[in-house]
Amino acid sequence: MSKSSDPDAGWHNTPKTCNFADLIGPVQRRREGDHWVYGLRVSPLHTNSIGTMHGGLVTAFLDEVVGEIVNDVGKRKHVTVQFSTTFLSTAQVGDFLECAYEIVRTTRSMTFVQARLNVAGAPIATATAIFKVAPARAAG
């Protein structure tokens, strides 16, 4: 078990963000300085037909947590405009995934992000994403 997956390292389940996120998790997070770090323990429910973490779930997890990071940093809701995942390795049942990210650029309405999904510090996937400020929801 890597140090980052130690339950004493401050990890706890994230507050509910949307119904879809419940299908991914339980997603965990911990505070690191002035930002959140997100993680996920791979369970048998996350696997594909060969017993490794399903690539669609890797992408969904990255989209969900990077979107939450962008919402938090931008202090407003965003929607995904473009998302691209590159798979570098596999994740096994029991592995703890941790998302690292860099906000490359922010404009008035768009945020450009690069992210990396790590297991014990080694990358298993990378992603590039573009998020747009969400339109205001109509009342009523």
Nearest to 66 by CA among 17, 26, 33, 108: 17
- pLDDT tens across 78-127, in order? 999 999 999 999 999 999 999 999 999 999 999 999 999 999 999 999 99
- pLDDT tens across 6-25, in order? 545 789 888 877 778 888 88
Q: Is residue 139 part of a domain?
A: no
CB burial string 10-33: b at 16+ within 10 A, e below = ebeebeeeeeebeebbebbbeeee
Q: How far apart are CA 67 and CA 88, in angstroms?
A: 22
Structural domains in the chain (count):
1
Q: Where in the sequence is the domain holding 22, given as residue range(s)?
A: 6-133
The token pair that represents 116 in the structure block: 């990396």
Nearest to 31 by CA among 8, 11, 7, 15: 11
- pLDDT tens across 31-68, in order? 888 888 899 999 999 999 999 999 999 999 999 999 99
Q: Is residue 58 part of a domain?
A: yes
pTM confidence score:
0.86
Residue 89: count of CB within 10 angstroms of its CB: 11
Q: Is residue 138 part of a domain?
A: no
* CATH code assigned at 111: 3.10.129.10
Q: Is residue 44 part of a domain?
A: yes
Q: Is residue 116 part of a domain?
A: yes
